[in-house]
Amino acid sequence: MEDSMERLAGWLIRDKGTDYLATMRGWIELDGVPRGLPRETAAVVFGTRTEAARFTVEKIEADAAGSGARRRPRLAVRPAGHLSSAARLRRTARAWLEERGFEEIVLPMAWARSEEYGAEEFRLSHSRIGDLDLRVLQSPEFPLYTALAEGLDRSYTFGRCMRFESGDGAAASEHYLMEFEQLVFATTFEGLGACMAQVEDLVRTLSKAAGVDLGEVDFTVSAPQGMPDVAATGRQVPLEQVTLFTVPATWSAAARRVLVERLERAGAAVIVLEGEESALERPGAEVRLAIEAGEADAATVHRVLDTAASYVMPGADVPAAVALQWNPAWEAYLPLSWGEGEGGGSAYPVRSITSRRETGPDGGERIADAELYLKGIEVAHVRAYANRDQFEENLRLAGIEDAQERYGYLSEALESAPPGMVGMFIGWERLLTVLEGLLSTQRAQLYARDGVGRLVADAGPRAHRRNEPTADEEA
C-alpha cells in the first residue's frame, strides 16, 4: 500500500493547532495527523497531496526519541526548494547534451601540478605518495585538454573545482578552500563562434525550463572587429567592469533622457553597446547600454538602474521584461596580457597558457576565449585550445622555467592532436543563481560559504576552514 502513496520525510512541527512537515523543499501543511505524537520530531509521512503545500496523511512514522529536541534541522528552518528545480535543470542539461552526441565522462580532480591560471593549487599528501607532486585541481581543464589531444571528442562532465580564497577587510586573516561545480563539455574540429552558439542554445534551453524565455533576446558579442569565427555585434567593452541595462522600446524620449542624466550626474559614463548613439534618443528603439561607474559610487549606479528597471514591469509582460534585463552578452578575444589592475591572483603575466592565440586589429596578441555574462554574472567560458607550437610558446611567455618537467606529457600528446579543440565551461552554481533568482551563489550550494571561510555559519561544519594561528596560539 505504501508503494501507491506519496512519501515525504522531514521535521514534524505542531504550531497553534496546525501540523506541518518542514522539508528541504518547504513547509507542507498536514491533515489527519494522529494525536499523541511529539510536538517536534523527525518523521516520515505517507499519503496524498491535495494541494502543492497540503498533504493528507494515511500513515506516519515519528521518532519518539526526538520529543525533547530543541534545535530544528538547518533545512527545516531554511528550506532549499531550489535544489529540486536544480535537479530538473541538471536533467535538462544532460538531455540537451546527449541529444547532440555528447557522452558523459568522468575527469580526475587530482592531477600533476598544472596552475593554468598562475595561482597556487592545493597539494595532496599521503604517507605512500612519496615525492609525487599531486594537486587538487582548480578546474578539470588540464585532464580535458590532454584527453582532447589524445583523441577524445564530444564529451561532458559535471566537474568539481577547488580554489584558494582569501577574506576581505576584517576577515583578511582567513583563508579557505572554496568548492564549486562546472558543467564542462568539449569538442574537436570546431571554431570558437560555433561553440559559443552551442553554449547560447543550452543557456536558452535551461532558462526556458526555469520559466524565463530568452528566445527574443539577442546575445550581444563584444569583441574586436575582424577576429576569426566571431562577429562583433557590440562595442568592445570589458564586461566585467560595467553594468548592462536595456532600455525598452516602449520608453519615451523623456524617460530615456532622465535615465542618462541621472547616471551622468552621479559620475557614471553611459555607452550605447549596440548601434548608433542616436538610437538612445529615439522612442521605439530597444537599446542596450553599458554603464561604467567612473567617479560614481557603484551602489548609486545600481540604485538608479534598479529604479529604472521597476518602470519596465508595470503593465508589461513581466517574464519578457525579466529576460530583457538579464542582458546576455559575450566578451570575446580578450587580450593575452593582463591589463593594469588585473591578474592580481596570477603569477603569470598572461591570462592563459592553454588558449589559442590570434593577432588583433591593433597588432596585439589575444586569446581565443569568450566569457558569457548573464545578469552581470559570468556564467560560462569558452576556450579554443592551442596547438603544440602555441602551447609551448605560451609557457615561454608565462615565464615558466620547468615547462618540460611539468607539461612534457601534454606536449607529447599535442604532437598528433586534432584541430579545433574547444572546451566549454559553465559555472553551474552561478547559472543556477541567475535562473532561480537567488540572492547569491552561496544559496545555490548545499554547504554554502559565508565569505569568511566557514561553510554555513559559525556553528556549522568547518572541515574546509584553515586559519593562520594567532600570536597566542603560536606561543
Residue 70's pLDDT is 65
Q: Is the domain of 439 the same as that of 376?
A: yes
Q: Is the domain of 17 the same as that of 166?
A: no
Residue 395's pLDDT is 96
**CA pair distance 210, 205, nearest whole angstrom:** 9
Residue 174's pLDDT is 52
Which positions ≥6 away from 118 have C-beta within 8 Å?
Answer: 343, 345, 346, 347, 348, 398
Give pLDDT tens digits for 404-429. Answer: 999 999 999 999 999 999 999 999 99
Average pLDDT over all residues of the chain: 86
Residue 166's pLDDT is 60
Q: Amino acid identity, residue 99?
A: E
Q: Cell 601540478 belongs to which residue?
A: 113
Residue 418's pLDDT is 97
Instruction: Out of 124-133, 153-162, 220-229, pick the least confident.
Output: 124-133
Residue 433's alpha-carbon distances to 172, 374, 400, 443, in angstroms, are 26, 10, 37, 7
State which of 49, 79, 109 marks the end of a domain: 79
Instruction: Out of 13-27, 111-125, 218-232, 380-394, pick the least confident.
Output: 111-125
Distance of CA 470 to the CA centre of its chain: 34
Q: Is 451 helix (H, G, I), strand (E, B) or coil?
A: coil
**CA pair distance 413, 147, nearest whole angstrom:** 9
Residue 148's pLDDT is 98
Going by pLDDT thresholds of 50, 70 and 90, the confidence category of residue 11 is very high
- CATH number reported for the structural domain that contains residue 54 in this entry: 2.40.50.430
Residue 184: CB atoms within 10 A of its CB come to: 23
Phi/psi of residue 193, nearest 5 degrees: -60, -40
Going by pLDDT thresholds of 50, 70 and 90, the confidence category of residue 454 is very low
User: Domain for residue 333, yes or no?
Assistant: yes
Q: Is the domain of 219 the same as that of 343?
A: yes
Residue 335's pLDDT is 94
Q: Is the domain of 92 the same as that of 17?
A: no
Q: Is the domain of 95 the same as that of 18?
A: no
Q: Is the domain of 188 the same as that of 220?
A: yes
Residue 209's pLDDT is 94
Q: Amino acid identity, residue 418?
A: P
Give pLDDT tens digits for 357-380. Answer: 999 998 999 999 999 999 989 999
Judge contact between 180 and 186, C-beta under 8 A: no
| Predicted confidence (pLDDT) at residue 453 exceeds the cutoff of 70 | no
6's enclosing H/E stretch is strand 6-15
User: Domain for residue 475, yes or no?
Assistant: no
Give pLDDT tens digits for 229-284. Answer: 999 998 899 998 899 999 988 888 899 999 999 999 999 999 998 878 888 888 88
| Predicted confidence (pLDDT) at residue 468 exceeds the cutoff of 70 | no
Q: Which of 66-70, 162-166, 207-211 has the highest mean pLDDT?
A: 207-211
Cell (9 digits) for 178: 572554496
β-strand partners of 131: none
State which of 79, 114, 139 marks the end of a domain: 79
State which of 61, 79, 97 marks the end of a domain: 79
What would you measure as the largest C-alpha separation in the chain, in angstroms? 80
Instruction: Out of 5-14, 347-356, 372-381, 453-462, pick the least confident.
Output: 453-462
Q: Is the domain of 14 the same as that of 127?
A: no
Residue 295: CB atoms within 10 A of its CB come to: 9
User: Domain for residue 99, yes or no?
Assistant: yes
| Predicted confidence (pLDDT) at residue 459 exceeds the cutoff of 70 | no
Going by pLDDT thresholds of 50, 70 and 90, the confidence category of residue 332 is very high
**CA pair distance 425, 410, nearest whole angstrom:** 20
> What is the span of the domain harbouring residue 318?
84-444
User: Domain for residue 460, yes or no?
Assistant: no
How many folded domains does the chain comprise? 2
Q: What is the mean pLDDT of residues 293-305?
A: 85
**CA pair distance 49, 54, nearest whole angstrom:** 6
**CA pair distance 260, 254, nearest whole angstrom:** 10
Using the 8-state DSSP alphabet, how is residue 441 labeled?
A: G
Q: Is the domain of 338 the same as that of 235?
A: yes
Cell (9 digits) for 85: 528545480
Residue 281's pLDDT is 83
User: Domain for residue 472, yes or no?
Assistant: no
Q: Is the domain of 100 the same as that of 200?
A: yes
Residue 130's pLDDT is 81
Residue 284's alpha-carbon distances to 119, 234, 249, 312, 326, in angstroms, are 48, 19, 4, 14, 20
Cα–Cα nearest to 149, from 345, 356, 411: 411
Give pLDDT tens digits for 153-191. Answer: 999 999 988 877 665 443 444 555 677 899 999 999 999
Q: Is 136 helix (H, G, I), strand (E, B) or coil?
A: strand
